[in-house]
Structure 1
Amino acid sequence: MDQAPGLALFDFDGTLTDREMFPDFLRTATPRARVALGTVLFAPLLLGYRLGWVSAHFLRERLVSYCLRGLDEQVYARSGERFAREALSPVLRPRALERLRWHQQRGDTVVVVSGALDVYLAHWCRAQQVDCLCSRLEVMDGRLSGRYAGAQCAGEEKARRVRAHYDLARYGEIYAYGDTHEDLALLQLARHRYYRGEPVD
């Protein structure tokens, strides 16, 4: 009897890459006139984040609103495509990418489940021939509203989206890979869990 296919769930930032890429993308996509002022305005929030007083979820919402509100949809799309093409390959972790390839060779369904924005992550996932569940921004009348379209794909939302898109009961083995507390709900879906590259119970 053939073995049931496996499911491999990968976080992106910090798991497949060696750092979080969201700030790098914002720096490339934000209109120049906003960058210098934003550095000053967000200094207290960034300090609060580093001290654990401000959540990553809250900080991302505020950054998106300030940096990208009103940006033309087509300009945003071009920024994302260019970022995926030029910025992601150099920061990929070789061991993590090898693991992703191992799952593909086994015939597993591979899914990147990330709070990263679809405008660049979806391009990368298509090139790697893997599925993608991630965050999207709202567009109104051809411009970004400065809000997320639905919930950020982080924390419990990661697990909710996986359950909504995949029938977990049909997979023989489920693997999950993450690196922060925002990945813990995702890891709980799996029998084989890896945190910062190491297996965990």
Structure 2
Amino acid sequence: MTLALFDFDGTLTSKDSLGEFLKYSVSREKYIINMLKFTPYFILWQLKLMRNDIAKQKLFKLFYDEIDEEVFKELATKFSLKKIDTIIRKERLEILKNHQANGDRVVIVSASVQCWIQPWCDKNNIELLSTQLEFKNKKFTGRFLTKNCHGIEKENRIRELLHVEDYETVYAYGDSSGDTQMLALADKAILY
């Protein structure tokens, strides 16, 4: 049996789904204000003085702290089903669909948030490993429930779900250094 692992943002999409979701989910004014507030964290992250996951949690806290879980998930589902197809790279989706047609197990492994990728994956019969947000008492806490599914965490999550060694052939598709460990698991690694 064959396994095909796909990164999402930049690999299957032409734009970052996080950026697109932020713009979709709030007013233009709130988007600009929150991005300005996020600038110091972005600079620290770019200078490698702040980890990726911490910067990302700061961003989510700025945008969605205390948002009602139902409201957020409904917004994420609408975005997923209305907008993701508009940023999907058709030629790369075709590669994924060919794997499915061949009976291969296909899994998307993404640092983006499950809430807005899962409905699209469900629609396309694709398994998903991704970052999950923490909700308590029906409100977003500003934190992640899981580790940010990036870099070594991609490998960890894949190994938790699958026995990679059980597959005759493993393909992995990625586009950035955040995919390095996932690509290293593959017999056939494709870096875009």
Distance 1:47 1:19 in 2: 21
Q: Is the 8 A contact 1:30 1:68 kept in 2?
A: no
The answer to whether residue 115 in structure 2 is matched with residue 119 in structure 1 is yes
Shift of 1:120: 1.1
Aligned equivalent of 1:89, options 69, 85, 88: 85
Question: How big is the shift at 1:86?
Answer: 1.3
> Is 2:170–2:187's contact at 8 Å kept on the other side of the alignment?
yes
Residue 199 of structure 1 aligns with which residue? none
Change (3 A) 1:55 1:95: farther
Query: Equivalent residue for 1:18?
Result: 14
TM-score by length of 2: 0.92
The one-letter code matched in structure 1 to 2:14 is D
Task: Give the partner amino acid of 2:128.
Answer: C
| CA distance in structure 1 between the partners assigned to 2:17 and 2:55 by the alignment | 14
What are the Cα deviations for residues 43-93 of structure 1, in whole angstroms up to 9, with x where unaligned? Answer: 333355566665543321210121111000000011111100111101111
1:2-21 CA distance string (max 9 Å, x none): xxx10000000000001211
Distance 2:29 2:87 in 1: 28
Contact 1:112–1:133 (CA under 8 A) maintained in structure 2 = yes
- The answer for the alignment partner of 1:195 in structure 2 is 191
Structure 1 residues 103-150: Cα deviation after superposition (integer angstroms, max 9, x where no partner): 011110000000111111111111111110011100000000000002
For structure 2, the residue ranges without an aligned partner over 5 or more in a row are none
User: Paired residue for 2:178?
Assistant: 182
Residues matched between the structures, number: 192
Distance 1:91 1:33 in 2: 23
Most deviating of 27-36 and 59-68? 27-36
Q: Is the 8 A contact 2:172 2:182 kept in 1?
A: yes
Is 1:171 aligned to residue 162 of structure 2?
no
CA–CA distance in 2 between the matches of 1:140 and 1:56? 23
For the 8 Å contact 1:29–1:68, the answer to whether it is kept is no
SS at match of 1:150: coil
How far did residue 41 of structure 1 move? 1.4
Moved more, 72-81 or 34-43: 34-43
Structure 1 gap ranges (5+): 197-201
For the residues of structure 2 that align with 1:171 and 1:91, how far apart are their CA atoms? 31
RMSD across aligned positions (CA): 1.9
Q: Does 1:152 align with 2:151?
A: no
Deviation at 1:30, TM superposition (A): 4.3
Q: SS at the partner of 2:36? A: helix
- Give, in whole Å, the separation in 2 of the partners of 1:143 and 1:52: 31
Quote the offset at 1:27 in angstroms: 2.7
Give the match for residue 139 of structure 1.
Answer: 135
1:138-194, CA deviations, whole angstroms, 9 ceiling, x for partnerless residues?
A: 000000000000201111111111111111122110000001100001001101000
Secondary structure at 2:135 match in 1: strand
Calculate the TM-score normalised by the size of structure 1.
Answer: 0.88
